[in-house]
Amino acid sequence: MNKMNETNGNVGKQIILYVVGLWFLALGVSLSIKADLGVSPVNSIPYILSQIFSIRMGTCIFIVFGFYMLLQILILRKEYEWKNLLQIIFSTIFGYFVDITNVITKEIAVESYVSQLLLLIISILLIAFGITLYIEANLVPMPMEGLVIAISKKSKKLKFPQIKTICDSVVVLFGLIFSLFGTGQVIGIREGTVLTAISVGKLVGVFQRIIKPRVAKKL
């Protein structure tokens, strides 16, 4: 009975850590939108689609993340762990979180390029921190990170941070294509998007080295 209680307690802690990570990630995403220097790579396609079709970003996140889940299944095939279908639930929660944090950050005043850069830096740190938390919760990854993990399992040379940077860059490229074809101009992608693409993966690696030992003691 004590072992069962301990296991349930650990799962509870994992879920809390995961959801807290999602909240920090959502807040980082909303701040990147508010900085207006380009949205984060993982949310560039959902943001652009929301602008093209005039629907909520949370809905677009759910659709795009569903596609990432399909890619995981195609890449891993028999190695795919069906518990990862829980990504659907957490993707829905994340979509709601983004809608909420978009409202919370709506009134933040951004009056200069310096303040935009400051907001962007904060958003990058929050995004990397949030990703690290829910990865270390060791439940199921979010769809984009799940895709990165799937690719890393098939790659013998590259590790998660490197593949994360590559995937972010590819997503930005597709976001650019969708933007040009859908609106005739570039929306949602600027220098901030590129900076986020090349820095988040590296920052996740840094945060993992700091957080992993501490989380291991608690879970």
Q: Report the pLDDT value the prediction gives residue 9, as an integer from 0 to 100.
A: 61
Q: Report the pLDDT value the prediction gives residue 8, as an integer from 0 to 100.
A: 57
Q: Report the pLDDT value the prediction gives residue 3, as an integer from 0 to 100.
A: 42
Q: pTM here?
A: 0.81
Q: Report the pLDDT value the prediction gives residue 25, as an integer from 0 to 100.
A: 94
Domain count within the chain? 1
Could you give the C-alpha distances from 59 to 1, 24, 75, 134, in angstroms and in order? 42, 19, 25, 21
Q: Report the pLDDT value the prediction gives residue 140, as an integer from 0 to 100.
A: 85
List the one residue out of 71, 82, 83, 76 whose CA is nearest residue 155. 76
**136-166 burial, b if ≥16 CB within 10 A, otherwise e?**
bbebbbbbbbbbbbbbbeeeeeeebbbbbbb
Q: What are the tens digits of pLDDT across the range 33-50?
A: 899 998 888 889 999 999
Q: Report the pLDDT value the prediction gives residue 17, as an integer from 0 to 100.
A: 93
DSSP of 52-86: HHT--HHHHHHHHHHHHHHHHHHHHGGG--GGGGG
Q: Report the pLDDT value the prediction gives residue 58, as an integer from 0 to 100.
A: 84
Regions in the chain scoring below 50 on pLDDT:
1-6
What is the residue range of 176's domain?
2-218
Looking from the CA of 86 toward its CB, the CA atoms found within 13 Å total 9
